[in-house]
Structure 1
Amino acid sequence: MIHAAFIGLGNMGYPMAGHLANAGHAVTVYNRSPERARQWLDEYPGKQAETPALAALDADMVFVCVGNDDDLRQVTLGDNGAVQSLKAGALLVDHTTASAAMAHALDEACREHDALFMDAPVSGGQQGAKDGALSIMCGGDEAVFERARPLLDHYGKSVVHMGPVGQGQLTKMANQICVAGVIEGVAEAIAFAEKAGLDAEKAMRVIGAGAGSSWQLVNRHQTMLADQYDHGFAVDWMRKDLDICLAEASRLGTPLPLAALVNEFYKEVQAMGGGRWDTSSLLRRLQRRRD
């Protein structure tokens, strides 16, 4: 049994922390909205802390899954942040999709407290978190990865060590670049099929059985055709992720023309009031332009 803290009980963190608790680990949770933490305690065994620092106190491993760099900085390095109370030898694992620069800052801060750090962003969405089937991309020392892996296996189907600190976040950036291009392609294919008079559902099913298949096509085409977007990964979060990708690409001097274009499309979706819609709502943008 590991004494663990889990900070951030959003759509992803809530079930991830639950998997740790169900596996028999002693889990202390913190969430900015205390009601959410109390709801979690109604479903899983564990404790609730009033601050990130209190959650991390005496924990062997501290897991964080929040929204962005600013949120992450607040719960780790801010007043009553988790890093302030890390005991020597404790391990901080960050599941937030954040910048590589933030990963390096946290690594440095943990070292100053004789603690360890690993960036470990995830992919697979809320359903993947519930099913314990996430893809986890890890950046840190090999020994740190091996120490964390048994716990990550509780909610990860693919848990891969990508290299030193920051490499997990860079891998997640590559993942989001892929997702953005693919979902725009699916949206355009559906819009084309509808305009051409095809049975779009049947067309997507046959395409999904061939070389044009993707997770996005298989898992999203039915809700897209039903014009249902109140689920999944929000446009606002994808915009945040693509901004991180584009900033890092600029620093590296490598162009991302498709990612930049899709990011502009998502700005249009936000202007339509779709900031909380699923990322597959790119189809609604195309349909509105067509109409």
Structure 2
Amino acid sequence: MTKSVKVAFIGLGVMGYPMAGHLRKKGGFDVTVYNRTTAKAEKWAQECDGKHAATPALAAKDADFVFACVGNDDDLRSVTIGPDGAFSTMKKDAIFIDNTTASAEVARELASKAQTLGFHFIDAPVSGGQAGAENGVLTVMVGAEESIFNRAKPVIEAYARSVGLMGPVGSGQLAKMVNQICIAGIVQGLAEGIHFAKKAGLDVEKLISVISKGAAGSWQMENRSATMNIGKYDFGFAVDWMRKDLGICLEEANRNGAMLPLTALVDQFYKEVQNMGGGRWDTSSLLARLERQ
């Protein structure tokens, strides 16, 4: 059955490349990809025994499910409703699944456009980073009608460990904002804790081995404390990307009246890291800012 399901994937960045690979290899779907850099699409097609197309429109033609994982709202509009965009060729009742971390507003805008054209748009941002994408264990937060979600979920599960329906279109993006708000505060707290421990003369490795088993434990502590302790940041989810995400959170908070004082503060700390030349460093590099003081 999966071989008869046609899938398109638009955007082969550090997340999209392995996600599309899981749809082909694990899901067994007939997958066609599009990427702005054609060489990367050609490489993917060769590695994954799939196909590539010259435009989003050609990739989406006749597809049952069309995925996108691009940079921001403008990129998403470009590959959907821009020249040679996917919306121009999508067939009736197909489903467009957007894995981009974008605004709730653009999700609702494109869902409305898709409805007028006779197909469906759902927002499905992901959490888990590059490692989660490569290992096919992402967490996916979906905004959709329940019936459309139920159709899309088995396909999404090719690259996910957890897929949850958050509410109507836009709710997936709102859930991802909460995810990023929580991460920002946790990483800042961890950075300050390690900084304090060093100043106090504690053995950070021994310290983390103990407190990670208690109430202070977190994914960030388990997965980032060791590299933070040795000042290694040349990997992972980039500060530039986090600032883009936190900007979306703060803009939405301005609209809905939420108070995000810590998020706004950490966003400025990340700006300082960018000014240090750390725009492509992992988000755990908040410690580097403290150690510079």
TM-score by length of 1: 0.98
CA RMSD of aligned residues (A): 0.7
Aligned pair partner of 2:20 in 7, 11, 17: 17
CA distance in 2, matches of 1:246, 1:276: 21
Aligned pair partner of 2:134 in 116, 126, 130: 130
Deviation at 1:219, TM superposition (A): 0.2
For the residue of structure 2 that corresponds to 1:273, the secondary structure is coil
CA distance in 2, matches of 1:73, 1:274: 29
State the identity as a percent: 60
CA distance in 2, matches of 1:273, 1:112: 45
Deviation at 1:109, TM superposition (A): 1.3
For the residue of structure 2 that corresponds to 1:162, the secondary structure is strand
Task: Quote the residue 1:273 is aligned against.
Answer: 277
Amino acid at match of 2:32: T
- What is the aligned length? 289
Aligned pair partner of 1:66 in 57, 67, 70: 70
Deviation at 1:84, TM superposition (A): 1.1
What residue ranges of structure 2 are gaps of 5+ in the alignment?
A: none
Aligned pair partner of 1:208 in 212, 215, 219: 212
CA distance in 2, matches of 1:90, 1:285: 47
Map 1:253-272 to 2 at 5 A: 253-272=257-276
For the residue of structure 2 that corresponds to 1:157, the secondary structure is strand
Deviation at 1:56, TM superposition (A): 0.3
Deviation at 1:172, TM superposition (A): 0.3
> What is the CA deviation profile of residues 1-42 of structure 1, one whole-angstrom value per residue up to 9, with x for unaligned ones?
210000011111111100110121000000111111122123
TM-score by length of 2: 0.97
CA distance in 1, matches of 2:269, 2:236: 18
Task: Flag as ranges the 4+ runs of structure 1 deviating above 2 A.
Answer: none
Amino acid at match of 2:190: V
Aligned pair partner of 1:4 in 7, 13, 19: 7
Amino acid at match of 1:17: A
Is 1:141 equivalent to 2:145 in the alignment?
yes
CA distance in 2, matches of 1:124, 1:48: 26
CA distance in 2, matches of 1:258, 1:178: 10
For the residue of structure 2 that corresponds to 1:9, the secondary structure is coil
Deviation at 1:226, TM superposition (A): 1.8
CA distance in 2, matches of 1:282, 1:182: 11
What residue ranges of structure 1 are gaps of 5+ in the alignment?
A: none
> What is the CA deviation profile of residues 116-141 of structure 1, one whole-angstrom value per residue up to 9, with x for unaligned ones?
11100000011111111111000010
For the residue of structure 2 that corresponds to 1:213, the secondary structure is coil
CA distance in 2, matches of 1:244, 1:105: 16
Is 1:76 equivalent to 2:80 in the alignment?
yes
